[in-house]
Structure 1
Amino acid sequence: MTVRSRMPVRALATATALALGLAACGGTTKKSSEDSGGAAPAGATAKADPNAPLKKGLKLAFLPKQVNNPYEKIVDDAGIAAAGEFSGSAKEVGPSDASASSQVSYINTLIQQQHDAILIAANDENAVCGPLKQAMAKKIKIVAYDSDTAKDCRNLFINQASSEEIGRSQIKMVSEQLGGKGDIAILSATANATNQNTWIKFMQDELKKPEYSGLKLVKVAYGDDDDQKSFQQTQGLLQAYPNLKGIIAPTTVGIAAAARYISGSKYKGKVAVTGLGTPDQMRKFVKDGTVKQFALWNPKDLGYLASYAAAALSSGQITGAQGQTFKAGKLGDRTIGADGEVILGPPTVFDAKNIDEFHF
């Protein structure tokens, strides 16, 4: 999940910079000696023309983890609207489930339809690699957003915020709410989701610090970004771990389901719920006291930035090489970091004091 920095609110105090470290699909393309180490994004060795105009009539396609995910819908709708600003067109296609291989057939269809760019939030970083490489061989640009593919399977990754910042901040939030003591659980999306697993890795690392010695992670559960399954997983966690004091759900579907269960149960006020959610879906749970604090970036900005990045790639302004810059409409100039990553900005913390300022 991605959350953006143009909002006039307080951002997480622990903002740090980090590029996702994900395993590659086995490609052999390397950065030149002038780059700062690591594998170069696919196609980054081509020559860029930063002064080239954006092409007219570009065809973009957004392929989310699943089309019935409210968060992904916000992202994609904003990206589709952004395409109109540069006289392009965009659409959203995708599966209704978030399984590892569910996106493959859609990629194959988009290749046949000869889109200029495919923008994908990957359910599995490796399962989509084969068809994405086929698309790239046909000069179709690939932009990952929200959840990355393996690095050699795309040109750019639009990351909502620093992955380290997101992961570590989740532990800090739950620790503050529990006074630094208690059993906690993580309610994730799917077991193969690149972004979720990266955030969880940093959560686990953060828990090793002495200041969190009073916290104990008892379980990582998976709700598969399905509302009912996430609801049932919350119930199961509370039954299996009677001393559970906190649940971290770094997924908009999971945090809403967990809050809904706890708000109507005996655990309300006794078990803290935090994670990543949208203000509109979490407002009632903040106002009724079920949730004290959670975080997110602006998903509209994530889709907007991804759309402009795809246009810049397709127009030859950039190739995905580190240090290149491009203009992203109202979001201003953006610079490509290591491994073809562009970071939107730090997430925002929402609570009872500021949640009514936001509507998405």
Structure 2
Amino acid sequence: MRLFLSALLMFCLAVPGFAKDLKIGMMPKLIGIEYFNACEKGAKEAAAELGIELEWDGPDTNDVSRQTAMVEAWIARKFDVIAIAPNDPDAIAPALRKARKRGIKVITWDADSAEETRDYFINQATYHDIAKTLMDVMAKGIGEDGKYLILTGSLTAANQNIWMGEMEKYRKEKYPNMTNLSETPKVSQEDQAMATRVTIDMLKSYPELQGIFAITSVALPGAAEALQKNNAADRVFLTGLSTPNSMREYIEDGTVKKMVLWNPVDLGYLTIYAAKMLAEGNLNEGTIEAGRLGEVEVKGSEVLLGEPLVFDKDNIDQFDF
């Protein structure tokens, strides 16, 4: 009888129809904003294609303690893979280490954590390429001796901090006469209304200001609203990172001439494909086939979506996310 049951169990695991469905938890920095809504759309598209049980959830504010509590809950529920965009990589690290010790695969996406706390990072574009594209857009907007400020979402967001570091490095090499008017970036706390208020304060406090980088998906529309309401778009050039749907109005009326991003739908989609491959032991350095995205490059423990995109009045209507 034991031999029969063992054979039956092996058969059930070997036959696709009987295979255990993968359970993946995917967590954004926060829910309810256009950027992460687009990531969710792509993730659910991939999960449907692959027959994966996907749970999408996250805090409704930029709150790492809520992220930690959710990761702990997913550990208790024995998820196969946890894919997280960490708000604070240091604060979330103990929970991610715990997940890995319990045999759960861990992926970071959009923003990374310490390499020893996760298996792979799904990167939307290289940090250098994002920084270079942003600085080149700003240099064309304010000139190579212009003065600018940076508006970020959080001082603990790893991706934003690395982008700013790469921007400064590239500025020194390519645009040494451009000036950042504040070594400490201005902070919006991933809140669009706060981004508007902070931008208005910048306009008042820095009369020499010529350009603003708003480098989160809610900071850029918030800053654009401030320029629009204060008729400041002609004297201050604004660019940054956000979604076409969040910025369409401001691009079309000329408040913002150009902005930068990648395709967040594709980022969510790729994350789920990579998570499945990781869970099955098939995610290795080289190239992988990721559904409709085709071949995607894997370097070390990083899976790279592609290159950043520049959006303007001529192409923004080609995108719906």
Distance in 1 (alpha carbons) for counterparts of 2:111 and 2:228: 30
Pick from 269, 272, 288 the counterpart of residue 253 of structure 2. Answer: 288
Provide the TM-score with structure 2 as the length reference: 0.90
- For residues 96-124 of structure 1, give each alpha carbon's deviation from its aligned partner in whole angstroms, at most 9, with x where no partner exists: 12134331100000111111111100111
Corresponding residue to 2:108 among 144, 151, 161: 144
Q: Which residue of 1 aligns with 2:207?
A: 242
What amino acid sits opposite 1:335 in the alignment?
E
Counterparts of 1:91 and 1:70 in 2: how far apart (Å)?
18
- Which residue of structure 1 lines up, in the alignment, with residue 166 of structure 2? 202
Percent identity for Structure 1 against Structure 2:
35
Residues 247-287 of structure 1, C-alpha deviation per residue, up to 9 Å, x if partnerless? 01111111110011101213121111101111111111111
Q: 2:305 aligns with which of 344, 351, 358?
A: 344
Amino acid at match of 2:294: G
Match of residue 327, structure 1, among 286, 289, 309: 289
Q: Does 1:222 align with 2:187?
A: yes
2-structure distance, mates of 1:179, 1:287: 23
Contact conserved, 2:137 with 2:258, CA < 8 A, in 1?
Answer: yes
The higher relative CO (CA closer than 8 Å, separation ≥ 6) is in 1
Give the secondary structure class of the aligned counterpart of 1:115.
coil
CA distance in 1, matches of 2:276, 2:40: 15
Report the equivalent of 2:238.
273
**Which digits, 9 at most, give the CA deviation of each residue in 1:149-169, with x for residues without a partner?**
111111110000011110122
Q: Which has the higher helix share?
A: 2
Q: Which residue does the alignment assign to 2:68?
A: 104
Structure 1 stretches of 5 or more lacking a match? 1-52
Q: Is the 8 A contact 1:183 1:244 kept in 2?
A: yes
Equivalent in the alignment of 1:123:
87
After superposition, residues 1-360 of structure 1 pair within 5 angstroms as 57-209=21-173, 211-219=174-182, 220-318=185-283, 323-338=285-300, 340-360=301-321
Q: Check the 8 A contact 1:80/1:89 in 2, yes or no.
A: no
- Paired AA for residue 246 in structure 1: G
Which stretch shifts more, 323-332 or 215-224? 323-332
Asked if structure 2 preserves the Cα contact closer than 8 Å seen for 1:252 and 1:276, the reply is: yes
Separation (CA, whole Å) in 1 of partners of 2:148 and 2:267: 30
- How many pairs are equivalent? 304
Structure 2 unmatched ranges of 5 or more: 1-15
Please, what is the CA RMSD of the aligned residues? 1.8
Bigger shift: residues 309-318 or 328-337: 328-337
Contact 1:256 1:277 in 2 (8 A): yes
